[in-house]
Chain A
């Protein structure tokens, strides 16, 4: 067991260089395709890590036991999952660390890491160090977020986004069931191997690989029978995590829908852009502003590669951040940055514009930013895009799946009616 060291000023338990050698870092799993890939970046840098894929009702129960019950659902789940893992006996708890993201925004999410530490203490694991994955909010000698690491990380995001985008567009239509997911798995393996070896993240490599990946998906044999197209937006964890949204994507697939989930790259650009907007609105350090501009530019380049590849093989390309941002102009100010901020509203507009006008807006029960940008913006969205057919779904440990599915089915019934109308009109036109 490594010696426990504490930060002098704040008394926080540190993740030391010594720990890096024999500790396993547990990672929560938010978006399955992405996180499996991203984990390998850590492996490349010599961190031992384990991606938690546990699920089941006992995780929420554990969360409820150790976290304030009115805290948002993602916190309950992530913390519940961590403590559940520590209690499972699967890990040597004296050689285990936890990692959690911290954005530093004005939403409750910035506090997850503190809630996690409180919960650890309550559960008797106060000796387990927690690493903040953030831009310098907390420092640890055993873990550093360096620029090269970030570049590889972003590369991982790009692969994750593209695989998610492509498989979502092929899976519902594939003639040979399972082909899309098989490709996803195959590529995940290949990409993982590249990232472990420290390769595959430069612009050139990405360009080449994205082309190959996209091409491979274009080879899948499809039966293009029109389906209801549904977009999923919302609070980032609930939107992606199967555990949090009660298997929303699977449910929609069962209901014979094509699903579009906007990628993580948009969110990354949004978070970087927030700093630029803050500078514009309130003033601040010019240096930081320039750095963020540069970063945003880099993300834009990556985005360009994804779009280019998708378009080349006739896929609906991912949203272009600058365009998405333009859509929300005059509807919600760019200063609204907490949580998903204006991006949430913008994504709904963008989905409605790109043919995914049936939208599930997911949020944890009582999510604060969502009052503003989700539920609070829908009236306006419908004014601008009358075709938007939006249902908002609250998730929390007590919200029964049956009610959620019933509400979604209503949205789908209306969606199907519209689809049939469109098809009828097409038939008429064809005649």
Chain B
């Protein structure tokens, strides 16, 4: 007899096997992080139920069991290894095992060379992720599976990280997308994450076995895997117990039950964990603190019977919906704070109905909406004004502190901070790619540990040793919390630690502040998260300042919107908001369709509310709304894309030469095009990126943390091969052209050497003649000779003279290309100057013109009636200057130069596009910011990834425009 325990991140499994390896006992229980108690329980139970189990060999496995096992003298078996042993025993002939657990995802290749893949530092696409998504949709896991089965369409949801997926899903919900479609989309994201993140170029084929909770309980999820892999996998009986069984099978040592149970119970870990000083030393300190904050107070008045002019403000946030009614003095008549449950329209409707019920004769003078759901709510209820969140919050904060210098709002899923300078919003910080440190983060943890959020936060107030969890991603935090628990941290310590980490995330990840002086002394904090005294205290402690937290901290967006409506409306105005009668006839119908007006073919969600009110969501441009094509005249991104496409293939005697259109090729294509065309090749490039192209190469990406533009390269190569390319040219380039703007002229390591990754990871590359030689375009004099040496190995017929002539033409073509771009840019600038338009410098890398990479951000910005140029247009207008970084990359030198130039122009603003995972931009962003801010300019950064949600981008642009307008 053998006994195996599997201590997972959320559950404990235990099995007993008889001598023929049959399972004679099994149990599966959630442990709510009370791991040691639960183990003791289970051992006690099994001892009673199974005769002779005390003579069994025992082993333990599972990620959460490591320390415990060692401390209690139980043999430990690594869990993937255990799975492998179990699979080989129970289902011989298994080729691949796919196992999803609470926080981990694994693929085991059992045949043809054992390989095991586990998710690394990213837990996207695991059980925890599915849990989070279910919470977001407000359904339980079983419903999620049922919903998914009823899907009609799927949306693209970023699959890399749960956080990204969240920010994809939330807007979909706010825009009225069907839950069933989202459920299916979530499953697809999980599949995509597993396949792309873990397979890393190895084909998943043969007999596939699905294991672990999510795959056992959700048949539709298995279906999604089957569909993607084009196979039918099996989910065996006892699929939940494979790890435990594997541990049992490996067990070799008997244990003394009494002794082990006793030791497990007393296991307290090392007691060594990093911690901060307590939030409050004692009760008296806390009382003083609450008394101080009670002063920031909005007066409450009665809504019933109020006959004066009333102002309504609504804030449809990411996870909550807020509404307020104010009287003429800005006092609060009525307020509502509710979770959005995925449908803000319904909640606002109830809110308005309640108002009309309490006060049927109310005289609404004006109304305004803000937040993620601004547009849909404004359209649904015909509100008077829409106001960008930042302005709404600023308006509210001013009411409490007229000379406020800094506002920080921590909401459900976002952190918004802004500096106020001369009465205008001067600098905005939003969390874009990461939601750790927000309200939903605390919420998720509270729930996971079995607490209500408010109770949970209170626990931390008097914690002795608040755990130092640092400032990091939610996923990492999960594991850090577990580690701290093992090391003996109490629930109180963890609660306080999480509150601290919320604050640290906001300060060090989002704002990147190093001292209170940077933020100013006059600070207003708001957002629902700050209603937790623990978070508020942690903030004051970390920054060393006393701040103002209004008693309506959670309502500030709505409150600001109402004040905004009041400010904007005329003395005698009457609101356009639909009245009590119209509310009764209110309907909300949702239709999903594809736009079809351009090649983007956006998936549109059309909401109709009766009486002709309609709202279209999911569009990247205004075309489906206005039915007019957007003008591209003052948008250089559009021009550059067309320019690259204008280098058409010319038939050549040496045959066809395919070039993948990605990364630096967006800039260097003219060079290589001319070079090889002169050498009598027919040069063509892969078509511009699309989702389909990305997918086709996704399974060959070896490093899931590399930037998205690099990942796309796999798809371009794959497409070229599939379309019958014989020869593909994709050179390695340590150095770029020297534009004399910096101290050196490197390419970044990824751009420089990505051809090596292609060669070493794409199976199909062997089907073609792949040329990835190293070239030195930075040395025009040596280039012909060296290029000749390299290329004549591939094309023996070439002559040095030919290559010389072609090189000359290639350099000329490249300067010609640069000239065209600069000329067009100058033209746009001149035109904008003439029309008095603002000029936005959308600064990034050459490949940021790829619409799949920039997600149409250029068009979105152009939609605000501004002219758009890129950094390379204005970088030549600046002489080389000193930077506070080593200025050594050609493309990045352009950024510094562009920033320097923008700093000198009143009518120019710079927006920097940053691809997620770009290590180099950790350096450039700070420097560009410094250059701009020195000149009193606002620095705006937009992080982009696979992500397609443009909501946050819009907020940024609108706030920026609002701030510029105030100047």
Contact = CB atoms under 8 A, between A and B. Distances in A.
Interface string B772-807: 111110110110011000000000000000000000
Interface string A3-17: 000000111000000
B509 interface: yes
A248 to B, nearest CB: 16
A108 B756 contact: no
Nearest to A124: B515
Contact of A107 (B79, B473, B749, B885): B749
B746 A106 contact: yes
A338 B761 contact: no
Nearest to A387: B113
A19 B201 CA distance: 56
A367 B482 CA distance: 27
A251 to B, nearest CB: 12
A393 B885 CA distance: 29
B63 A70 contact: no
Interface string A56-88: 111011001110111110000000000000000
B124 interface: no
B514 A66 contact: yes
B167 interface: no
Contacts of A333: 732, 753, 756, 772-774
Nearest to B763: A379
A407 B80 CA distance: 9
B476 A398 contact: yes
A281 B786 contact: yes
A414 interface: yes
B889 A368 contact: no
A392 B705 CA distance: 13
Interface in A325-378: 331-333, 335-339, 365-373, 375-378
B752 A64 contact: no
Q: How large is the interface on A (under 10, 10 to 19, 20 to 34, 35 or more residues)?
A: 35 or more
A110 interface: yes
Given A331-B760, A376-B761, A386 B113 contact: yes
B545 interface: no
Contact of B750 (A282, A368, A394): A368
A394 B747 CA distance: 24
Contacts of A370: 703
Interface string B200-221: 1110000000000000000000
Given A68-B923, A111-B923, A406 B78 contact: yes
Interface in A109-135: 110-111, 113-115, 117-118, 122-123
B919 A410 contact: no
Given A338-B734, A376-B702, A115 B923 contact: yes
Nearest to B774: A335
Contacts of A89: none
B790 to A, nearest CB: 9
A118 B923 CA distance: 11
B508 interface: yes
Contacts of A10: 882
Contacts of B775: 282
Interface string A403-420: 101110110111000000
B837 to A, nearest CB: 33
Nearest to A401: B483
Contact of B923 (A56, A108, A402): A108
Given A376-B702, A409-B78, A118 B926 contact: yes
Contact of B756 (A332, A394, A402): A332
Given A283-B785, A376-B760, A407-B118, A70 B922 contact: yes
Contacts of A368: 748-750, 919-920
Contacts of B472: 397-398
A336 B922 contact: no
B776 A282 contact: yes
Interface in B150-184: none
B884 A117 contact: yes
A382 interface: yes
B886 interface: yes
B135 interface: no
Given A118-B884, A380-B760, A394-B120, A366 B705 contact: yes
A283 B786 contact: yes
Nearest to A282: B776
Contacts of B580: none
Contact of A392 (B63, B120, B734, B920): B120
A332 B922 CA distance: 27
A106 B734 contact: yes
Contacts of A376: 702-703, 756-757, 760-761
Given A57-B274, A64-B470, A414 B81 contact: yes
A399 interface: yes
Contact of B889 (A106, A394, A410): A106
Interface string A90-117: 0000000000000010111011011101
Nearest to B925: A68
A250 to B, nearest CB: 15
B310 to A, nearest CB: 45
B66 interface: yes
A161 interface: no
Contacts of B479: 400, 402-403
Contacts of B121: 365, 394, 396, 399, 403
Contacts of B570: none
Given A281-B776, A399-B476, A407 B702 contact: no
A10 B917 CA distance: 31
Interface string B897-927: 0000000000000000000010111110110
Given A333-B753, A406-B79, 7 more contacts: A64-B470, A70-B919, A118-B885, A338-B752, A365-B705, A402-B486, A405-B66
Instruction: Give me the 5 closest cross-chain CB pairs, A-B, nearest first.
Output: A282-B776, A398-B472, A283-B782, A106-B746, A335-B774
Interface of B: 63, 66-67, 76-81, 113-116, 118, 120-121, 200-202, 274, 468, 470-473, 476-477, 479-480, 482-483, 486, 508-509, 512, 514-515, 702-703, 705-706, 710, 732, 734-735, 744, 746-750, 752-754, 756-757, 760-761, 772-776, 778-779, 781-782, 785-786, 882, 884-886, 888-889, 917, 919-923, 925-926
27 contacts: A56-B274, A57-B468, A61-B468, A64-B471, A64-B508, A71-B919, A106-B888, A108-B919, A108-B922, A111-B886, A111-B888, A111-B923, A123-B514, A278-B734, A282-B735, A283-B779, A284-B779, A332-B756, A335-B732, A371-B705, A371-B706, A376-B702, A382-B113, A403-B479, A410-B81, A413-B77, A413-B80
